[in-house]
C-alpha cells in the first residue's frame, strides 16, 4: 500500500510539474507583424509595377527603333518618364489611325 501511495504522489507531482505556461502575445507585437506584412505586400506590388513599367518602356524603345524614331530631350527637360510614355502612346495611336 505504501508503494501505491508513493507512486500516486510521484504521479501527482509529475503532472503538477508539467504545467504549460501560456505565452502571452503582446498586442503591439501582433500589430507590428501585421504592419510588416502590409508593408512587404505593398513593396512587392510596387516592385511588380516598376517591372511592368520597365517592360513597357522597353517595348516602346523597340517600336521607336523599328520606326526609326528618335526622341530628343528638350533643353532643360529631364527624363520625365510619364511624358515620354504619353508621347509614345500618342505616336502609336497616330500610326494606327494612319494604317
33-88 pLDDT per residue, tens: 999 999 999 999 999 999 998 999 899 888 888 888 766 655 555 567 788 888 88
Q: How many CA atoms lie within 13 A of 29 on its CB side?
A: 4
- In the block, residue with C-alpha cell 516598376: 50
In a domain, 16, yes or no: no
In a domain, 33, yes or no: yes
What burial letters (b/e) apply to 52-73, b meaning 16+ CB within 10 Å?
A: eeeeeeeebeeebeeeeeeeee
When divided into structural domains, the chain yields a total of: 1
In a domain, 15, yes or no: no
In a domain, 73, yes or no: yes
Q: Are 88 and 63 in contact (CB under 8 A)?
A: yes
pTM above 0.85, yes or no: no
CA distance 27 to 38: 17
Q: Could you tell me the three cell numbers for 33?
A: 507583424
In a domain, 7, yes or no: no
Higher pLDDT, 43 or 16: 43
Which pLDDT belongs to residue 37?
96
Residue-number span of the structural domain to which 68 is assigned? 27-98
Confidence label for 25 from pLDDT (cuts 50, 70 and 90): confident
Which pLDDT belongs to residue 87?
86
Amino acid at each position: 500500500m505504501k508503494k501505491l501511495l508513493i507512486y500516486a504522489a510521484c504521479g501527482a507531482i509529475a503532472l503538477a510539474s508539467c504545467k504549460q505556461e501560456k505565452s502571452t502575445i503582446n498586442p503591439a507585437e501582433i500589430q507590428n507583424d501585421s504592419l510588416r506584412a502590409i508593408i512587404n505586400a505593398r513593396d512587392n506590388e510596387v516592385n511588380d509595377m516598376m517591372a511592368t513599367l520597365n517592360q513597357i518602356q522597353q517595348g516602346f524603345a523597340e517600336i521607336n527603333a523599328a520606326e526609326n524614331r528618335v526622341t530628343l530631350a528638350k533643353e532643360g527637360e529631364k527624363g520625365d518618364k510619364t511624358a515620354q510614355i504619353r508621347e509614345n502612346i500618342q505616336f502609336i495611336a497616330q500610326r494606327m489611325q494612319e494604317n
